Structure 1
Amino acid sequence: MKKRILTVLISIVTLVSMYAGGSQEKEASPLNLMQEGTLTIGVEIGYPPFEDFANDGVTPVGYDIDFAKALGEKLGLEIVFINTAWDGIFQGIGVNYDVVISAVTITEERKETMDFSTPYIDNYQAVVVRADSDRKVTKFQDLDGLALAVQKETTSDILISDYISTGSLNCTVAQNEKVITCFTQLDNKEIDAVVVDSTVADGQVGKYPGKYKIAYLDKSEAEQFGVALTKGNTALQSAINKAIDDLKKEGFFQENTEYWFGG
């Protein structure tokens, strides 16, 4: 889903979870971690419902946060989250943290510089409008002439930019650093629609059904999110894949999806 390079490290957020008797012993073979016994994770907090802060403004919460906690238990590792700006998050892999778990789309381009776990959730592109809107959207070209908002350097941003560059769309686009800014602009009627990941759209509509609705969902091609890690660290990749497989069998992802996306 999200893209780019050049890391801006914001802050080390918090120590979230410790191994509490997970079903898997520590790996006998070395996992090539930056710190023995600890999995450090790069996240962009501020991308609900995947990553956000609780009401205290400090504690990270969200779909990916719960997944990371479960992953740490399975691996028998302590978890540390490092809050990092999206623009450059991948450059920090192997430098500031071991992996990135932050709604990362698996792409062929990214596979050239990093490895991925097996996918843990599917995603599509969606158009969100205000709940009182009567606008009909059956394809992205129906957004022609409108004011849109996207998060900068995401799949949504790239998608709309491609439509504009090929002449399929003529519209104004606000490219924001944070996805939540897009929805604030929609609230303030500064824009007509937000183009965003369907998983994020589901979370916002589920949380604020009186404010937003999904006008269009493009299911023509699914994206898949995975854990991004240093290229060539096959030991850690295999351990994460095994943990994901176990979590799938146990129904963790189904329960986590129902909780954060309303089913």
Structure 2
Amino acid sequence: MKTIRTTLAAATAVAASLLITACAAPDEGSTGGGAPDASTSVKAQGLDAHAAGLLPAAIKQAGVVKVASGVSFPPMEYFDTDNKTVLGFDADLGKALGEVLGVKFDFQNTNFDGIIGGLTAHRYDLGLTSMIDKPERQTQVDFVDYLNSGVSFLVVKGNPDGLTQQSDLCGRKVAVEKASTGDLVADDISKDCQAAGKKPVDKSPLPDQASAIQALQSGRADAVLALDLTLAYNVKQNPDSFEVPAKPFGTLPVGIAVPKDSTGLRDAVAAALKVLQDNGTYSDLLAKWNLTDQALTGAPINSGK
């Protein structure tokens, strides 16, 4: 379980209030206009014998897949008002995948920077947590890719510092979730800054996305760098407080991370994902969470380049 220290309690409370009051669409091009209804049930799935047959014997026997997830990343994964129930696209997808495979996907809240280590140590069976499939991560885990996303940055409403492109982050205080894609991209931007004779990004790695948002809101950061999935969601939840002034920095695949030596589980998850795509459930979930523009065809393995 992720340890939320007492000093972060205020950040968590603020983030929770944002999540609960207006669950909104991250897809800025959506014409739906309304907030996704997290209470809408995912249609029940039948067991698929082929996909379930690929599962490792130990997981079949246990009946549970231990899922590592950083549960502060709406609309992908976040806590309901009881601070126990996990909601979001990934939670719905995990439930449906589990039914296809005949097992339960048990989400365990984990610091993002500890997920890959937890997978390689087999404390968890897989990571379902909006993790970008990148070649450097592929050396430790395999990815079953299931979405596309880009990276951008969030600023306070009105953009007082006039930040509109990557180079504007040079020398700026930028909050990121530790070990996340935003963290890695901040390092890449810093290299470009220094090559241009500018100061590097003054990066502030924090335990979770909620803490990064709170750092921006409290004035301790000039921007938050993260996947556009969650940043646009924050804007639509609280349009009077935040805005995303920059276009995404390219499109990257988002993958379900599986230990390198768990090829049976990897292939089972890929097969189950294809079942959900074929029967329309995947499209239904994308529509529910306003992620239709982030759809990915098939279930490619390690497609990140």
The TM-score bracket by the shorter chain reads 0.7 to 0.9
Larger relative strand fraction? 1
Q: 1:182 aligned to 2:212?
A: yes
Q: Secondary structure of 1:245's partner?
A: helix
| Equivalent position of 1:98 in the other structure | 125
Count the aligned residue pairs.
248
Instruction: Kindly indicate whether the alpha-carbon contact (under 8 Å) linking 2:156 and 2:217 is maintained by their aligned counterparts in 1.
Output: yes
Instruction: Kindly indicate whether the alpha-carbon contact (under 8 Å) linking 1:32 and 1:236 is maintained by their aligned counterparts in 2.
Output: no
Instruction: Kindly indicate whether the alpha-carbon contact (under 8 Å) linking 1:33 and 1:39 is maintained by their aligned counterparts in 2.
Output: no
Larger relative helix fraction? 2
Structure 1 position 210, deviation (Å): 2.2
| Equivalent position of 1:222 in the other structure | 251
CA distance in 2, matches of 1:236, 1:148: 37
Instruction: Kindly indicate whether the alpha-carbon contact (under 8 Å) linking 2:56 and 2:265 is maintained by their aligned counterparts in 1.
Output: yes
Q: 1:110 aligned to 2:137?
A: yes
| Equivalent residue runs for 1:93-172 within 5 Å | 93=119, 95-117=122-144, 119-133=145-159, 136-166=162-192, 167=194, 168=196, 169-170=198-199, 171-172=201-202
Instruction: Kindly indicate whether the alpha-carbon contact (under 8 Å) linking 1:202 and 1:262 is maintained by their aligned counterparts in 2.
Output: no
The one-character-per-residue Cα deviations of 1:23-56 (angstroms, maximum 9, x if unpaired) are: 5137335524445322221112222222211111
* Percent of aligned positions that are identical: 25
Q: Secondary structure of 1:215's partner?
A: coil
Structure 1 position 111, deviation (Å): 2.0
Q: 1:52 aligned to 2:52?
A: no
CA distance in 2, matches of 1:125, 1:44: 18
Mark the runs of 5 or more structure 2 residues left unpaired by the alignment.
5-40, 293-305
Q: 1:79 aligned to 2:105?
A: yes
CA distance in 2, matches of 1:237, 1:186: 37
Structure 1 position 10, deviation (Å): 4.8
Instruction: Kindly indicate whether the alpha-carbon contact (under 8 Å) linking 2:113 and 2:180 is maintained by their aligned counterparts in 1.
Output: no
| Equivalent position of 2:68 in the other structure | 42
Q: TM-score when scaled to structure 1?
A: 0.82
CA distance in 2, matches of 1:211, 1:256: 28
| Equivalent position of 2:38 in the other structure | none
Q: 1:207 aligned to 2:237?
A: yes
The one-character-per-residue Cα deviations of 1:58-94 (angstroms, maximum 9, x if unpaired) are: 1111121111111111112122222222222122226
Structure 1 position 144, deviation (Å): 3.1
Q: 1:27 aligned to 2:52?
A: yes
